[in-house]
């Protein structure tokens, strides 16, 4: 059964069980975070040893072990380590269920790792639901009014989105006769343009899958859950949702649409244009509504919606590159690696922003932007980290966000999407207003209260890692870009 190829996932599952058992027998709850991080490190070690090996399919071609899956697995494991670190102080407020909290974070990570590796519609859905159910519980973990309301909305809307996604998968299976992505690709490839038009059920299935996946990445118009859930959830979980869930969604979308629906070229042109339109609407709505937000978590929620729109520019470029140049293989891999670089850059910037929010809001007891006045004097290093994260989200040099937008915009222009890039650049200028408003409040306004803002060693370490990553990718982007190119080299016709 090639279980050795599933060692990263198995080690993470064993760690989750071990954390729950340890919680029953120890009073030293700090050990739970240590064991969780050790388990994540072991899983990462197994994943690293597999890097560069020949791609393999396991469990009757349900999962793939290739550089693409390993790239995202390592990214999810790294994000999970930082989430555990920033949760150390937060979880200490809980009288009960600390073991369950860490175990659910690990299980959500496990689900996202399986999402990146899944090559069958059934395994994709199971992996997606494993991550989603873990997040449903984590969002409501505080058990107060806001947290409970956020969790209920998330469950109800998530259930509808899952039903829509499953219906789309069922239609795709019905018209292709298979659930495995390579075999779907063969069935669809054999259809002519006229054959596709005579199968409206298949087109409807693809559209419904876009809608289902769109919910998972908080893309407009499937974004309605994000602001309330981000505001009501524990801040470390808001961080994980904003970063991990979005990255996992794009990992699945890229594999599904490039592997299964790349050819005939008329089909890729169609879904490429759909993503272009959704991206244009998403980035515009996200940035415009973010301007009006007084709560920083809601502001970052709409910012996350806008960044989903930016990443869709890369998906649109892939679809159009295949449709316009179906016999060449040069443009699409570049667009794919640009998407991978962008999600890493976005993850680092969002991590820096949310970790800073955890530190500041933990002291203030408020998420209102106006209460961040004078943070540059009270907590200069934390305010500097938040500033760096926000500058990277804008896309200004010398940050990773600047390089990420340069790559993804360049690919879009090369594939005839100049109009979309113009919209994206205008939206980046709009986003500068609300991002820099927070910077202005922190550095130029007088503090509303006295006293320093304390932070634990774990929080400072997580903040330092994310900020260092932002600067490193902004100055030496070739490190991650080369890994991204290796990860996407397995795609092809």
The 3 state secondary structure assigned to 415-480 is CCCHHHHHHHHHHHHHHHHHHHHHHHHHHHCCCCCCCCCCCCHHHHHHHHHHHHHHHHHHHCCHHH
User: Which residues lie across from 42 on neighbouring strands?
Assistant: none
Give residues with Cβ within 8 angstroms of 100, minimum separation 6: 20, 23
Is position 338 within any domain?
yes
Would you place residue 24 in the very low, low, confident or very high pLDDT band (cuts 50, 70, 90)? confident
What are the tens digits of pLDDT across the range 364-411? 878 889 888 888 888 889 999 999 999 999 999 899 999 999 999 998
CB 141 within 8 A of CB 234: yes
Give residues with Cβ within 8 angstroms of 465, minimum separation 6: 82
Record the tokens describing residue 159, joined without a space: 């259930």
Burial of 229 (0-12, 13-18, 19+ CB in 10 A): buried
| Residue 282 clears pLDDT 90, i.e. is over it | yes
Is position 156 within any domain?
no
Query: How distant is the alpha carbon of residue 122 from its chain centre?
Result: 21
Is position 52 within any domain?
no
CB 248 within 8 A of CB 95: no
Q: Is the pTM of this model over 0.85?
A: yes
Residue 364 sits in which domain range?
A: 262-493
Q: Residue written as tokens 């169609």? A: 270
Count structural domains, the chain: 1
Answer with the residue of higher pLDDT: 438 or 321.
438
Would you place residue 325 in the very low, low, confident or very high pLDDT band (cuts 50, 70, 90)? low
Q: What share of the chain is helix, strand, coil (3-state, %, to 5)?
A: 80, 0, 20
| Residue 101 clears pLDDT 80, i.e. is over it | yes
Is position 484 within any domain?
yes
Record the tokens describing residue 247, joined without a space: 């990255």
Q: Is the peptide bond before 27 cis (omega within 30 degrees of 0)?
A: no
3-state secondary structure of 64: strand
Determine the pLDDT at residue 324.
Answer: 59
Report how far residue 237's alpha carbon sits from residue 267's, in angstroms, rounded to the nearest whole number: 37
Mean pLDDT estimate for the chain: 88
- Angle at which helix 246-260 crosses helix 331-364, to 10 degrees, equals 170
Mean pLDDT is lowest, of 329-343, 416-430, 460-474, for: 329-343
Would you place residue 361 in the very low, low, confident or very high pLDDT band (cuts 50, 70, 90)? confident
Is position 15 within any domain?
no
Give residues with Cβ within 8 angstroms of 118, minimum separation 6: 62, 63, 64, 124, 127, 252, 255
Record the tokens describing residue 28, joined without a space: 């030293």
Radius of gyration of the chain (CA): 22
Record the tokens describing residue 238, joined without a space: 């808001």
Q: Which helix (H) or strand (E) holds 378?
A: helix 375-378
Query: How distant is the alpha carbon of residue 204 from its chain centre?
Result: 26
What are the tens digits of pLDDT across the range 139-176? 988 888 888 898 999 999 999 999 999 999 999 999 88
Determine the pLDDT at residue 469.
Answer: 94
> Cα torsion for 473, 389, 304, 37, to the nearest 10°?
70
Report how far residue 207's alpha carbon sits from residue 214's, in angstroms, rounded to the nearest whole number: 10
Determine the pLDDT at residue 329.
Answer: 45
Record the tokens describing residue 326, joined without a space: 């179906």
Record the tokens describing residue 206, joined without a space: 């693809």
Question: Residue 77, CB half-sphere, CA atoms under 13 Å: how many?
Answer: 27
Is position 324 within any domain?
yes
Report how far residue 103's alpha carbon sits from residue 386's, in angstroms, rounded to the nearest whole number: 29
Report how far residue 251's alpha carbon sits from residue 260's, in angstroms, rounded to the nearest whole number: 14
Is position 154 within any domain?
no
CA angle 305, 341, 470 (to 5 degrees): 85
Determine the pLDDT at residue 396.
Answer: 93
Determine the pLDDT at residue 493.
Answer: 36
Would you place residue 192 in the very low, low, confident or very high pLDDT band (cuts 50, 70, 90)? low
Neighbours of 58 (CB within 10 A): 17
Is position 270 within any domain?
yes
Determine the pLDDT at residue 330.
Answer: 43
Record the tokens describing residue 312, joined without a space: 């869709």
């Amino acid at each position: 059964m090639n279980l050795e190829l599933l060692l990263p996932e198995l080690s993470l599952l064993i760690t989750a069980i071990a954390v729950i058992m340890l919680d029953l027998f120890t009073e030293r709850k700090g050990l739970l975070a240590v064991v969780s991080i050790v388990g994540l490190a072991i899983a990462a070690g197994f994943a690293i040893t597999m890097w560069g090996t020949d791609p393999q399919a396991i469990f009757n071609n349900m999962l793939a072990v290739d550089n693409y899956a390993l790239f995202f697995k390592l990214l999810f494991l790294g994000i999970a380590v930082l989430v555990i670190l920033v949760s150390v102080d937060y979880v200490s407020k809980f009288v009960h269920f600390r073991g369950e909290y860490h175990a659910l974070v690990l299980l959500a990570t496990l689900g996202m790792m399986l999402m990146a590796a899944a090559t069958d519609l059934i395994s994709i859905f199971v992996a997606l639901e494993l991550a989603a159910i873990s997040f449903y519980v984590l969002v409501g973990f505080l058990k107060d009014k806001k947290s409970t309301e956020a969790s209920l909305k998330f469950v109800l809307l998530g259930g509808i989105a899952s039903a829509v996604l499953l219906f789309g998968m069922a239609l795709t299976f019905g018209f292709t006769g298979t659930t495995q992505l390579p075999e779907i690709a063969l069935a669809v490839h054999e259809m002519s343009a006229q054959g596709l038009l005579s199968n409206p059920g298949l087109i409807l299935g693809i559209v419904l899958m876009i809608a289902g996946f769109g919910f998972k990445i908080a893309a407009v118009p499937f974004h309605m859950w994000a602001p309330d859930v981000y505001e009501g959830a524990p801040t470390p979980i808001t961080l994980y949702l904003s970063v991990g869930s979005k990255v996992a969604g794009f990992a699945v979308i890229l594999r599904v649409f490039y592997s299964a629906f790349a050819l005939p070229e008329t089909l890729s042109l169609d879904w490429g244009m759909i993503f272009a339109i959704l991206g244009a609407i998403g980035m515009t709505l996200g940035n415009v509504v973010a301007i009006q937000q007084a709560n920083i978590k809601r502001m970052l929620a709409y910012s996350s919606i806008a960044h989903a729109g930016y990443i869709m520019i890369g998906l649109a470029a892939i679809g159009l590159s295949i449709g316009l140049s179906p016999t060449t293989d040069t443009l699409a891999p570049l667009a794919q690696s640009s998407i991978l670089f962008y999600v890493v850059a976005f993850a680092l910037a969002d991590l820096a922003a949310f970790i800073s929010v955890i530190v500041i809001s933990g002291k203030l007891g408020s998420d209102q932007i106006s209460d961040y006045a004078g943070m540059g004097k009270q907590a200069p290093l934390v305010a500097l980290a938040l500033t760096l994260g926000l500058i990277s989200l804008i896309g200004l040099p010398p940050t990773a966000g600047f390089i990420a937008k340069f790559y993804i915009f360049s690919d879009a222009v090369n594939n005839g999407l100049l109009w979309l890039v113009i919209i994206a650049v205008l939206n980046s200028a709009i986003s500068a207003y609300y991002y820099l408003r927070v910077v202005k409040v922190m550095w130029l306004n007088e503090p509303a209260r006295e006293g320093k803002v304390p932070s634990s060693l774990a929080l400072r370490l997580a903040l330092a890692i994310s900020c260092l990553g932002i600067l490193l990718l902004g100055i030496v982007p070739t490190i991650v870009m080369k890994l991204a190119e290796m990860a996407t080299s397995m795609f092809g016709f």
